[in-house]
Amino acid sequence: MLPVPIREIADTWASIYSNSAALRSAISFAHVGGLVGGGGCALAADRATLRAFRRAPDVVAGEVHHLHGTHNVVLAGLAVVIVSGVLLMFADLDAYLVATAFWIKMGFVVALFVNGSILVRTALRVETGDAAARTGLKRASIASIILWFATTLIGAALPNVL
């Protein structure tokens, strides 16, 4: 059972949301746009990092330098996805709270954040010359690609199971 203030906020928002096609479209676009922007940059950076591993160690170090700038875009995209996702959830709160697919998606989102943190820390270690961290960076990049696609897949399925 939800506290009364949260229930009232959700009910008010659901009414506003359901009565405005423009608002529904804008929030859906923000959710998908944040995913495309942040996730797209992350996937491109992960791919470039993995490609760099087939070359000399200095190429990997150069690619790590690019990861830092990409990280900010990814975080901004995730912020948009989270804000729009909360608004989408509050538009049909009762359905989302009991949907197994929703909680699986939230697990993937948490895993993306954890893996992103590992990726950034490992990249910093690679940048300082820690050769052992190269394997960790490669694994984190592979995990990132898998997690982005898994999160997108379950997100696409979610409206169909509510």
- Dump the DSSP string for 45-102: HHHHHHHHTTS-HHHHHHHHHHHHHHHHHHHHHHHHHHHHHHHHHHHTHHHHHH-HHH
Contacts of 142 (CB under 8 A, 6+ apart): 46, 50
pLDDT by residue for the chain (162 residues), tens only, comes to 789 999 999 999 999 999 999 999 999 999 999 999 999 999 999 999 999 988 877 788 788 888 888 989 999 999 999 999 999 999 999 999 999 999 999 999 999 999 999 999 999 999 888 888 999 999 999 999 999 999 999 999 999 998
Q: How far apart are CA 109 and CA 151, in angstroms?
A: 7
Q: Where exactly are the structural domains of the chain?
A: 4-161
Q: How far apart are CA 100 and CA 98, in angstroms?
A: 6
Which CA distances in Å does 1 have to 13, 98, 107? Answer: 18, 12, 22
| Residue 19, pLDDT score | 98
Q: What is the pTM assigned to this prediction?
A: 0.90
Q: How far apart are CA 77 and CA 91, in angstroms?
A: 21
Q: How far apart are CA 143 and CA 150, in angstroms?
A: 10
| Residue 15, pLDDT score | 97
